Structures are given as structure tokens and as C-alpha cells.
Amino acid sequence: MGDGCYCLSLAFPSSQIIGYDFAEAAIEAAKFLYPNVDFISVLNKDNKYDVIFCSNVLEHFRDPFKQIVLRLAMINKYYIALVPYKDNLKCPEHFYSFDENSFPNKINDFTKVQSTIITDIKRSFWDGYQLLVVYKKDHKD
């Protein structure tokens, strides 16, 4: 609903933060809640983004790594993914469960630089832990 983008816009006020969701209803709700943050429902494949932060989306795909590869082609610097950790897949919309071994060390020209299990979570809608993974683009200088 745009909460994460709003928090990022406060933490990085000199950065352009754009929220993305393929669900138009979610975009409209986020725009209403956070009118000072930009939200879009389509990523332009011709644009390059310094960072894409994907939060709690990949578990909704049967082949999440196909989605990751599509996004990596649009990135200049970092790809960050936050996913449920060891999801029990009881949610009918979740098709993939991640653990610390799910993400390879390299994907195309990106190297995994961080993988952290987040256990200190204030409970709200989601139950369980989260896995945060960061990839950095390899630059050939």
C-alpha cells in the first residue's frame, strides 16, 4: 500500500523513489495514502533504475527467478529482494518458499553481497521471518 516507498522517501530525501505494483487498485490506494510519492503500474523496460527493491512479491510466482532476471536487465547498481523466509505456503497466493540457499551467488552480471534472515519483526499482517537479499551489479572497469 506504499508504506515502504514512503519510508524510503523519508530516509533518502534526495533520491527519486517510485513505487511499482502491477495491481492498479494497490497503486490507487498508495497514491491516496502517500500523494507525495510517485507510483506506477508498469515498469518501462527501456528505463534504467539504480536500485530496484522488491518486497514480498517473488513468492507469488511459480518461477520467481525468471522475474528477477527481467528486473536485473533494468538495473544500474543494486537489486534488493525481501521475501518470506521458509514460507509454509498456506497462503493460496504463494507458490514459492525461500530459504538462505534459494538465491545463487551470481545471477548474470550481478553478485550476491548480502543475505540476512530478519527475525526482529513487529507482527502485523505477515507471520514469520523475512529474508533480505542484496545483489550488486558487476562493473567491468
Q: Could you tell me if 113 and 50 are in contact, meaning their C-beta atoms sit under 8 angstroms apart?
A: no
Q: How many domains is the chain partitioned into structurally?
A: 2
Please indicate, yes or no, if residue 24 is contained in any of the structural domains. yes
- For residues 69 and 100, membership in a common domain is answered with yes
What CATH code is carried by the domain that includes residue 94?
3.40.50.150
Please indicate, yes or no, if residue 47 is contained in any of the structural domains. no
- For residues 27 and 80, membership in a common domain is answered with no
pLDDT band, residue 123 (cuts 50/70/90): low
For residues 4 and 108, give the distance between their C-alpha atoms in angstroms, rounded to a whole number. 27
- For residues 65 and 32, membership in a common domain is answered with no
- For residues 66 and 111, membership in a common domain is answered with yes
What pLDDT score was predicted for residue 103?
96
- For residues 134 and 65, membership in a common domain is answered with yes
- For residues 18 and 62, membership in a common domain is answered with no
- Global pTM exceeds 0.75: yes
Count Cβ neighbours within 10 Å for each residue of 67-87 and write b for 16 or more, e otherwise: ebeebbeebeebbebbbbbeb
Question: 22 lies in which domain range?
Answer: 1-42
Per residue in 75-88, pLDDT (tens digit) is 999 999 999 998 88
Please indicate, yes or no, if residue 90 is contained in any of the structural domains. yes
For residues 69 and 63, give the distance between their C-alpha atoms in angstroms, rounded to a whole number. 11
